[in-house]
Structure 1
Amino acid sequence: MDADTRNSTLPFSDDRPVSAVGPMVGLCGLAGLIGWVVIARAFEYSGPNASLCAMLACAAPMILWSVLVDKVHLRASTGINWSAPPRPWRETFHISVAKLTGLWAVWAAIAFLYCLGRWYWEDPYLFAMRLLGMAVGPLVLFSVPYVLWIDRRLADPRDGSWHFGQFVIGRTSLVDRDIVQDYLRSWAVKGFFLAFMITIVPGNWFNVVTPRAEEIGTNILTLTRWLVSCMFMVDTVFATVGYALTLKPLDSHIRSANPYAAGWMAALICYPPFIMMGEGRPLNYHPGTMGDDGWVYWLDGYPLLIALWALLLVMLTAVYAWATVAFGIRFSNLTHRGILTNGPYRLTKHPAYVSKNLFWWLATLPFFATTGNLNDAIRNTMLLAMVSGVYYWRARTEERHLMADPVYRDYAAWMERNGPLTRLLRRMSGRRVPATVPAE
């Protein structure tokens, strides 16, 4: 029997690769968060400290499910060897000292960069700076027993912290520069985005908890605004939890940070202080529109169409939030922390980017200008098209980074064959489905 005949007779199962995060992790976090929202609305807990409690209410159930049910701490990807007895602490003490040196040095560098950034010491960043400042002492104290403990269990305790610690100490002959560079990139991601996320959570929390029921139900616009605010609050709370919980025992550590300058550029121009889409910035497509309320302005007088449009906008933001919830405790930009293949990621590789951009187009309707000026309509349409282009750029740079993982390559190939959006685009372009054969 030749190879072609043998391949044609073998059963072939085109199964989707297993996701690094199960669906129940995010659902547990969502249940905890919703529970706290109900309590907070009842007792009017709308302040910044209540938003911190929201993060705890979200994180705790996810941690418990991950450890007690999914048993993520036992996965080989953690690098922790639970089957062997822990090494004597005398064998790993010198390793731990070097790692603590590297860890504290990078924390000091992040603190120094916070001091240099003037925007960090103005509203709305002040809350994040105060919180991180209060957390430094406990983190330094906790890091000592944590590092001493985990180094006795790790199969290879000489990780990025150790290499950077050796660099700081001056033992450069022992340093792997590639590991150090990835380590610093990982902490750059965490330092930059964690401060930003902590900053925006209180505002989103306030927008959800403060409005009374009668205010929310005043009309379709107020209801839609509140529901959209709920989705954004869910997104920011889950994302903040993800940036905070980068721990090997939870298998949520950063495997690698994007090594490509294009990836960093594409991401950073979407966030302050580098954001290109804000007021007065080159890609600001809002002048001459009603912003995200443009749809109400232009659809006024068509109540059924407004209701359908509102439902569509809420659904798009729900998909956007779902894309973050699916990460559980692993969300962060510019990093690889395990490959997701379930939830909205079985529909498209970039559900957050697709839903976010569709929301902007449908909410703003940039091709209509309230000024009546055709130039404004053309300009805003072109600028929003450029914004969408930036997110396409981000998606491509992320894929380039993740393609180093064979699991992502399998997932990308599966999506090429089975993804609904991919199938639609393939049907529109006339491309054929990539051939698949079973492995022998």
Structure 2
Amino acid sequence: MQAGQRPRSDVSAGVGLCGLAGLMSWLVICRHWAGVADLFGIPGPREPLSGPYAALAALVWSGGPMVVWSLLVDKVHRRPSTGIDWAAPRPLSQVLDVSVTKIAGLWATWALIGFAYCVARWYWQGPYLFAMDVIGAAAVPLFLLSVPYVLWLDRVLVEPRDGAWHFGALLIGREPHDPEQVRIHARAWLVKGFFCAFMISILPAGWAALTTADLSGIAREPVLAARWLTELLFLVDVQIAMVGYLVTLKPLDAQIRSANPHLAGWVAALICYPPFILMGPGSPLDYHPGTADWTFWLRDPLVQWIWCALLVSLTAIYAWATVAFGLRFSNLTWRGTLTNGPYRWSRHPAYLSKNLFWWASTLPFLVTSGNRNDALRDTVILALVSAVYFWRAKTEEKHLLAEDAKYREYHAWMERSPTITRFLSRLISAASPRRTVVQPAE
């Protein structure tokens, strides 16, 4: 790579675009299912497919094209980062003991996650009930299919003794294990266990809203346009992200290479999600009391169209940041480095656009009570929410800088290049108090 050149991204733009095309195709089919069923003589209801299982099917429609592109075009299975040597498969007899230990580690891990689901009360109420039904139905096939998968993959892995193996070795007690590998394994599955349940729980509501929405007035009503276009983009974000949490497979070079080892990173992330969320109604960082929607304050049609364009653009950047990950999206993990899409202008385009959206849609400095203290309070609270995301970004950078040489190159390139990140870094440096460097005594 030439000096000053942007490092090449580990994920090509084509992956996410294929997933987006597949998702949009399925959405159109589901919205017009009555006509599709009539055309092909399919028995059943003549209404939009708006149920939760149609939302699950969307994962196949978006994930399938991404897998095909990754294998046939990007040929990710040939990359050294997979840890696979396809040219030198071992006989099954040579890896059988290793595989048995690894399967024991995997099954024990899944059993512990299942136990956590059973104990934690929030998983048995509201939208989480659907997630528990899906995970429960998938559990037996997952356990059974893991056996041939592990036996097949261990034959071609350069080093089959990964974190699952070390955890299995710890449990069986026949061979020495590396405690650090066990911790890496535990953190990775903690991410998957927590976020998979959450993401599955929010799939049905967004899908039902988009497949049954009446869009007849979208071209005339800026408020309606803003509502449904942002809903569509949030749907894209959730669906593509869910595929990323599910498809953490080494043959796709999408494995979790490490999960954030820093406690601050976990705290910063988890307080943004239920049940630990601090931004929900009545929570310490709830910035909504006394506020009204942007449509309450902006009544002029022209201004509403301008604001609609702003909100949709910010949401589009947020969704684009997820689509750019392709098969590799997940919080708190390192699965390769992205340098293309919106990541060529900002290291954290999703956090930046999300927070700007909240400021623009809430307008916390305007309150219906007319009380300036309420306006000040809401503005300060939203500023604290933005500070949480700044903190979260810094903890992620700390993790990635320690793990990935390419990310260090990308980080340095962003600091030199005329990007949003460079501008914000200079702004923060200018606002920060200067520190006097004390030279040590000789």
Find the aligned partners of 1:358 and 1:317 in 2 and give their Cα distance. 10
Change (3 A) 1:111 1:429: closer
Please list the CA deviations of residues 124-175 of structure 1 after superposition, one character each: whole Å capped at 9, or x if unmatched: 101110000000111111100000010010000000010000111124x611
Query: Is residue 56 of structure 1 aligned with residue 60 of structure 2?
Result: yes
Cα pair 1:348 1:419 within 8 Å, conserved = no
Q: What is aligned with 1:375?
A: 373
Query: Helix, strand or coil: the match of 1:246?
Result: coil
Query: Helix, strand or coil: the match of 2:228?
Result: helix
Q: What is aligned with 2:331?
A: 333
Q: Counterpart amino acid of 1:71?
A: K
Find the aligned partners of 1:207 and 1:189 in 2 and give their Cα distance. 28
Change (3 A) 1:408 1:426: closer
Change (3 A) 1:34 1:101: same
Offset, 1:264:
0.1
Offset, 1:296:
1.1
Query: Is residue 229 of structure 1 aligned with residue 231 of structure 2?
Result: yes
Find the aligned partners of 1:63 and 1:371 in 2 and give their Cα distance. 52
Report the count of equivalent residues. Answer: 415
Query: Is residue 143 of structure 1 aligned with residue 146 of structure 2?
Result: yes
Query: Helix, strand or coil: the match of 1:213?
Result: coil
Please list the CA deviations of residues 278-330 of structure 1 after superposition, one character each: whole Å capped at 9, or x if unmatched: 0111000011112xxx2111111x22111111101000000000000000011
Change (3 A) 1:289 1:72: same
Q: What is aligned with 2:423?
A: 424
Choose the corresponding residue for 1:28, options 18, 29, 32.
18
Q: Counterpart amino acid of 2:319?
A: A
Query: Helix, strand or coil: the match of 2:328?
Result: coil
Q: What is aligned with 2:209?
A: 207
Find the aligned partners of 1:127 and 1:215 in 2 and give their Cα distance. 33
Q: What is aligned with 2:77?
A: 73
Offset, 1:215:
5.2
Find the aligned partners of 2:151 and 2:324 in 1 and give their Cα distance. 32
Cα pair 2:222 2:301 within 8 Å, conserved = no
Q: What is aligned with 1:408?
A: 407
Find the aligned partners of 1:423 and 1:58 in 2 and give their Cα distance. 34
Change (3 A) 1:207 1:217: farther
Query: Is residue 123 of structure 1 aligned with residue 113 of structure 2?
Result: no
Output the aligned Cα RMSD: 1.5
Q: What is aligned with 2:156?
A: 153
Offset, 1:81:
0.5
The alignment's TM-score, normalised by the length of structure 2, stands at 0.92
Offset, 1:83:
2.2
Find the aligned partners of 2:54 and 2:93 in 1 and give their Cα distance. 43
Find the aligned partners of 2:429 and 2:119 in 1 and give their Cα distance. 53
Choose the corresponding residue for 2:30, options 21, 25, 40.
40
Find the aligned partners of 2:148 and 2:86 in 1 and give their Cα distance. 18
Offset, 1:201:
1.1
Give unpaired runs (5+ residues) of structure 2.
Answer: 34-47, 431-442
Find the aligned partners of 2:235 and 2:427 in 1 and give their Cα distance. 36
Cα pair 1:62 1:329 within 8 Å, conserved = yes
Q: Counterpart amino acid of 1:26?
A: G
Change (3 A) 1:13 1:113: same
Cα pair 2:102 2:164 within 8 Å, conserved = yes
Find the aligned partners of 1:227 and 1:204 in 2 and give their Cα distance. 12
4+ residue stretches of structure 1 with deviation over 6 A?
none
Q: What is aligned with 2:94?
A: 91
Find the aligned partners of 1:214 and 1:312 in 2 and give their Cα distance. 22
Offset, 1:191:
0.2
Offset, 1:425:
3.8
Cα pair 1:346 1:419 within 8 Å, conserved = no
Q: What is aligned with 2:43?
A: none
Find the aligned partners of 1:178 and 1:16 in 2 and give their Cα distance. 33
Find the aligned partners of 1:22 and 1:384 in 2 and give their Cα distance. 35
Q: What is aligned with 1:110?
A: 113
Choose the corresponding residue for 2:187, options 177, 185, 188.
185
Find the aligned partners of 1:419 and 1:24 in 2 and give their Cα distance. 25
Q: What is aligned with 1:264?
A: 266
Find the aligned partners of 2:336 and 2:267 in 1 and give their Cα distance. 23
Q: Percent identity?
A: 58
Choose the corresponding residue for 1:101, options 77, 83, 104.
104
Q: What is aligned with 1:133?
A: 136
Cα pair 1:100 1:165 within 8 Å, conserved = yes
Q: Counterpart amino acid of 2:296?
A: Y
Cα pair 2:287 2:379 within 8 Å, conserved = yes
Choose the corresponding residue for 1:386, options 384, 387, 390.
384
Query: Helix, strand or coil: the match of 2:10?
Result: coil
Q: Counterpart amino acid of 1:48?
A: P
Offset, 1:213:
2.5
Q: What is aligned with 1:253?
A: 255
Find the aligned partners of 1:127 and 1:420 in 2 and give their Cα distance. 42
Find the aligned partners of 1:213 and 1:270 in 2 and give their Cα distance. 31
Find the aligned partners of 1:426 and 1:102 in 2 and give their Cα distance. 44
Q: Counterpart amino acid of 2:25?
A: G
Find the aligned partners of 2:73 and 2:238 in 1 and give their Cα distance. 25
Cα pair 1:316 1:356 within 8 Å, conserved = yes
Find the aligned partners of 1:392 and 1:65 in 2 and give their Cα distance. 34
Query: Is residue 396 of structure 1 aligned with residue 386 of structure 2?
Result: no
Q: Counterpart amino acid of 2:16?
A: G
Find the aligned partners of 2:65 and 2:98 in 1 and give their Cα distance. 33
Find the aligned partners of 1:265 and 1:110 in 2 and give their Cα distance. 20
Offset, 1:202:
1.0
Find the aligned partners of 2:197 and 2:219 in 1 and give their Cα distance. 34
Query: Is residue 297 of structure 1 aligned with residue 287 of structure 2?
Result: no
Find the aligned partners of 1:130 and 1:200 in 2 and give their Cα distance. 14
The alignment's TM-score, normalised by the length of structure 1, stands at 0.92
Change (3 A) 1:417 1:90: same
Please list the CA deviations of residues 187-226 of structure 1 after superposition, one character each: whole Å capped at 9, or x if unmatched: 0000000000001111111121111222545621111100
Cα pair 2:347 2:421 within 8 Å, conserved = no
Q: Counterpart amino acid of 1:14?
A: G
